[in-house]
Chains A and B, each alone.
Chain A
C-alpha cells in the first residue's frame, strides 16, 4: 500500500530511523518475531502518524483514537505471526487500526458529542493553520462526518481524507472495491447538503474538479 505522494511518511527522517531506513517493514516484523526487542518500536515510529490520523478521523475523538491506536499496536505486537506476506505491512496495520475503531463505534453506539467538546478536541489535536476560515471548515467537516454510518465514514476517511486508492481502501476494509465506491458515493451524497454552504467561504470554489467538469460536459 503506497501512501499518497503529497503526504510522505515522515518518520523516515528521524535520526534513529535513518540508519534503518533501508530495512523494510516486513524485515522488521520478521525481526520482531525473531525476538528483536527494538524492531516493533521502529515499525510503530514509522507508521504512528498515519494510524493516528486514520483513527482520529474515523472516531472523531482524541481520547477514543488514542485508545484505539494503542489497542491496535498492542494487538499487532502480539499477533505479528498472523501477518501473511500477501499484503503490505501497512495494509495489515491499517486493517487492525480500522477494525479497532469500528469495534469501538459498535460497542459505544452513538455518543452525542457536545459542540464545545468538538471545539476543544479540534484545538487540542489538529495543527490547524491560523486562518479562521479554514479552521471553521475543518471543524464543520469533522462534525458532519460523525453523522455518517460508520462504514461510510471509514471509507471516506481512507479515500477522500487520507488519499488512498479505492483498491487499497478495499483491502484495508476487507470488502470489494465496488463496495468502497458505493459507500463513498452514499457518504458524499449525505455530506453535500450539510457542507454546501461552506463552498463559498473558502477558496475551494474552483473545485469544479477535472472529473466533475468532464462528467458535466460529457
Chain B
C-alpha cells in the first residue's frame, strides 16, 4: 500500500502493540518507510502514551481516607471470634477511649456522623475523629473542628486555658497525627482544617525527639502549636506544624521540618478555614 492510501490509526496502534501477523506487519513497515503522514500518525500514537503517563497521580485526599477509615472502624470484623457484645462495647474498643479530662460532649459529637451521602462534607468526620484520638486539649480542638463543616464561620480554637503560658518547662498540648500525606506547597498554603484533624488510631505524641523539636519551634515562636502531622513534603519525610499567626485573621504559620528538626522550607503563612 503506497501512494495516496494510508493505514488507519487502529492498524498502526496494533502494529505498535505487536498484534499484527508477520506478513501484515511487514507490509505496514514498508509503507511507513516511504509515507510521512503515516509516520506522523505513529508518532501521534506514541505521544498519546506519553501524555497519559505524564498526567500526575494524585494522592487520596485526606477527607476520603478518613471517611474510609471511619467506615471500616464502624464495621465489625466479620472474622473476629469474639461476638460483638449486646451493648456494642466491643466495637468501641477499636478506638481509644475518650480522655476523661476532655470536656467533650460525646452525644453532640455522635450527631456529626454518619456522613451524608451525595456531595458530602468530608470534614464532617473530624469532630468524631478528634474525640476518638483522645488527645489533650481535645475539647478545644474538637469544638473548633466541629463547627467548621456546618458552614458557620468556625470560631478558631481559643488558646488553651489549661496550659500555663510562656513557661519554658510547660508541657505542650497538641495533637499529632501520622497521615503520611505527601503535602505540596500549594496545599500548605491552606485551608488546613481539612488536613490537620486527627484520625482515629493515631494517639497523642509519644516520640521524644519529635516532642523536643515541636517544643523548640514553639519556644522560638512563643506559642503552642495547633496541630502536628507526621507526613511528607514534596516526597521527603517531614513533620508539619501549624501555629496561629493571627487567629482573628484566620492566619496560620506553617513550619515544615525533617526528622532532625531541620526546616525543609521557609515558614509559610496559610489559612486555617
Which residues does A use to contact B, with CB under 8 Å?
7, 10-11, 13-17, 32-38, 40-41, 44-45, 48-49, 51-53, 56-57, 62-63, 66, 69-70, 73-74, 77-78, 80-81, 124-130, 134, 137-138, 141-142, 145, 156, 160-163, 178, 181-182, 184-186, 188-193, 195-196, 198-199, 202, 204, 207-209, 211-212, 215-216, 218
Contacts and interface: CB of A to CB of B under 8 A. Distances in A.
A77 B75 contact: yes
A37 B80 contact: yes
Residue picked from B17, B78, B179, B184, most chain A C-beta under 10 Å? B17
Interface in B189-221: 201-202, 207
B59 interface: yes
A202 B64 CA distance: 32
Contacts of A51: 60
A13 B238 CA distance: 10
A198 B52 contact: no
A90 B9 CA distance: 34
Interface of B: 8-10, 12-19, 29, 32-33, 39, 41-61, 64-65, 67-69, 71-73, 75, 77-82, 93-94, 119-120, 178-180, 182, 184, 186-187, 201-202, 207, 230-232, 237
A44 B68 contact: yes
Contacts of B182: 10
Given A69-B64, A81-B79, A192 B45 contact: yes
A184 B18 CA distance: 12
The 3 A-B residue pairs whose C-beta atoms are closest, nearest first, are A14-B180, A52-B60, A185-B13
Nearest to B30: A218
Contacts of B79: 32-35, 80-81
- Interface of A (DSSP majority class): helix
A124 B194 CA distance: 13
Contact of B68 (A49, A57, A69): A69
Nearest to B78: A78
Contacts of A178: 19
Given A15-B178, A37-B77, A208-B43, A215 B58 contact: no
A53 B49 contact: no
A196 B82 CA distance: 60
A141 B64 contact: no
A13 B201 contact: no
B51 A192 contact: no
Contacts of A13: 180, 232, 237
A77 B46 contact: no
Given A125-B58, A204-B54, A209-B50, A48 B18 contact: no
